[in-house]
Amino acid sequence: MLDINEIYNQTSKLDAKDKALIQKAYDVAHEAHKDQLRKSGEPYFIHVFATAKNLAHFGMDAKTIAAGFLHDVLEDTDTPEEKLVEEFGEEIVKLVNGVTKLGKVKYQGHARHVESLRKFFMAMADDLRILIIKLADRLHNVQTLEHVRIDKRKRIALETIEIHARLADRIGMNNLKGNLEDAAFPYAYPEEYKKLQEILANTKFDNTKDLDLVTDKLTDELKNQKIHIVEISRREKYKYSLWNKLVKYNLDIEKIYDVVALRVIVDNIEDCYRTLGIVHSIWNPLPGRIKDYIATPKPNGYRSLHTTIFTGTGGVVEVQIRTPEMHAEAVYGIAAHFIYKETGGKNFTIKGSKDRKFEWLSQLQELHKTVDDPEKFLQHLQMDLFKDRIFVFTPRGDVVDLPEGATVIDFAYAIHSDIGNHAQNGLINNKNASLGTKLASRDIVEITVNPNTNPSSKWLEYAKTSMAKKHINTYLRQNSLLSKFRSFAKF
Ligand code: MN
């Protein structure tokens, strides 16, 4: 019998009522799956228990953890839906049904891949918790892939990297993304995985001593300067992410400085910058490697200060500095962010989220409603979701999140369709810029509007975002219909 305390120990957020609900879900799932075995020969209940435990670990609410226990009950057992509704209510059963629907999608090459993504986005739009349960379920499945038939392994592994890990990344759940990818990596890309193992085994790469040295000296100096250290620890780069970085550096591991990095957690933002200053006063930083993700967070919301220093003993060490809040965000992502800003348990969808960090999500739902052709939808997705993003600012300091390569016209449409439709030119950092000028992160952008200016087909060449293209195309189409109508009338 698996000990339910293992679930409770993952989180401090559960009260007695929550625990009673979770215990009931445990019992019902245990009974429903009692005669089923997994491919490994173990009781099926182990899988739903692991899923629920993952959800508790992500800090999810009791209803989501309960739904984790029940997620395969409707699909794989003959428990009637009415019975679940009776016992657990509509909300939990809706989550279970959502996960079941997602489960029917299988990765079978390109076309199905598109379909899977669409289903994920629909589910996400419905209730973000459905996606998170599915990811918790997938994490356990991919971690137990060795029991799956060989021909199925690769498909599941690829699907995990292509879809699940990307979604985890996009909702800022960095540890989950890393764990999904690392479990899938050996099955998805066996050759590459082997190569990485070889590289790691063959390099005398070991910066343990450097890390010890820096840790000791920095701990002392922070104490002297009266900066309270919440935690100072090492983080090892995830294997799949390390592999991707290696590929960019021609497999030269000597060029990768963050295989193992030092992570310093301090009380507040001010202490983060002070700590960075102290690090630089002791050790020389490598030029060009100081990254302020606090002032300019990564597209998925990640915040931290990064710097890479010469240790003075021939070594190089990356130091990451952040607050406990930033750390929680980096681990739990969207869950840390606004799932717990719930209002009466109903605010679990991302509709109308005012959180600019995740604005792309609501834009995507919008897109989902308007683009029906799966191929086109995928193109939009790849453009909008999976490519790198830049952050630019309005003169008032609002952040606008755009894909890399976006231009002034994209910015204009991102502010408002009317501003886009009548944009005459732009000011980038107070200098004149044409509508086709590419933007860079941190640019401050202003748009000059002229009511007599209208979109032209030239603008389509400037536009990078699907939102801008959509508005321009709509205008051009209406306008050409109008002019056809006019010439027809004249005729
Ligand atoms: Mn499952």
The string of pLDDT tens digits covering residues 71-84 is: 999 988 999 999 99
Closest CA to 215 of 230, 228, 234: 234
Q: How confident is the model at residue 379 (pLDDT cuts 50, 70, 90)?
A: low
- For residue 68, pLDDT over 50 is answered with yes
Residue bearing the bigger pLDDT, 130 or 318: 318
User: Can you tell me the distance from the alpha carbon of 404 to that of 402, in angstroms, rounded to the nearest whole number?
Assistant: 6
Question: How confident is the model at residue 174, as a pLDDT?
Answer: 87
Question: How confident is the model at residue 392, as a pLDDT?
Answer: 78
Q: 3-state class of 337 per DSSP?
A: helix
Q: What is the pLDDT of residues 208-252, one digit of tens each?
A: 888 999 999 999 999 999 999 999 999 889 999 999 999 988 898
Question: How confident is the model at residue 164, as a pLDDT?
Answer: 87
Candidate from 122-136, 262-276, 408-422 with smallest mean pLDDT? 122-136
How many residues does this entry show for the chain? 491
Q: 3-state class of 302 per DSSP?
A: coil
- For residue 85, pLDDT over 50 is answered with yes
- For residue 99, pLDDT over 80 is answered with yes
Measured in Å, residue 86 CA sits from the centre of ligand 1 at 22
Question: How confident is the model at residue 346, as a pLDDT?
Answer: 38
Q: How confident is the model at residue 350 (pLDDT cuts 50, 70, 90)?
A: very low
Measured in Å, residue 38 CA sits from the centre of ligand 1 at 10
Measured in Å, residue 96 CA sits from the centre of ligand 1 at 11
β-pairing verdict for 389-393 and 316-322: unpaired
| Residue 468 backbone class (left: φ over 0; alpha: ψ -120 to 50; beta: rest) | alpha
Q: How confident is the model at residue 340 (pLDDT cuts 50, 70, 90)?
A: very low
The predicted model gives 60-67 an average pLDDT of: 93
- For residue 116, pLDDT over 70 is answered with no
Question: How confident is the model at residue 344, as a pLDDT?
Answer: 37
H or E, element range at 263: strand 260-266
Taking 3-state DSSP, the helix, strand and coil percentages for the chain, each rounded to the nearest 5, stand at 60, 10, 30
Structure-block tokens of residue 469:
């293209």
Q: What is the pLDDT of residues 382-402, one digit of tens each?
A: 454 544 667 677 787 666 778
Listed in order, strand segments (DSSP E) in 103-160 are none
Q: What is the pLDDT of residues 6-28, one digit of tens each?
A: 999 988 888 999 999 999 999 99
Measured in Å, residue 386 CA sits from the centre of ligand 1 at 26
Q: How confident is the model at residue 339 (pLDDT cuts 50, 70, 90)?
A: very low
- DSSP string for 67-115: HHHHTTHHHHS---HHHHHHHH-HHHHHHHHHHHHHHT----HHHHHHH
Measured in Å, residue 45 CA sits from the centre of ligand 1 at 10
User: Can you tell me the distance from the alpha carbon of 318 to that of 258, in angstroms, rounded to the nearest whole number?
Assistant: 6
Domains of the chain: 5-196 (1.10.3210.10), 204-330 (3.30.460.10), 387-490 (3.10.20.30)
Most confident residue range from 119-123, 126-130, 197-201: 197-201
Residues labelled as active-site residues? 75-76
Candidate from 310-319, 339-348, 365-374, 419-428 with smallest mean pLDDT? 339-348
Asked if 61 and 12 touch (Cβ cutoff 8 Å), the reply is no
* Mean confidence (pLDDT) of the chain: 84
DSSP-derived secondary structure letter, 405: T
- For residue 335, pLDDT over 80 is answered with no
Question: How confident is the model at residue 445, as a pLDDT?
Answer: 92
Residue bearing the bigger pLDDT, 105 or 425: 425
Candidate from 54-68, 342-356, 387-401 with smallest mean pLDDT? 342-356
Structure-block tokens of residue 246:
């290696």
- For residue 107, pLDDT over 50 is answered with no
Question: How confident is the model at residue 56, as a pLDDT?
Answer: 92
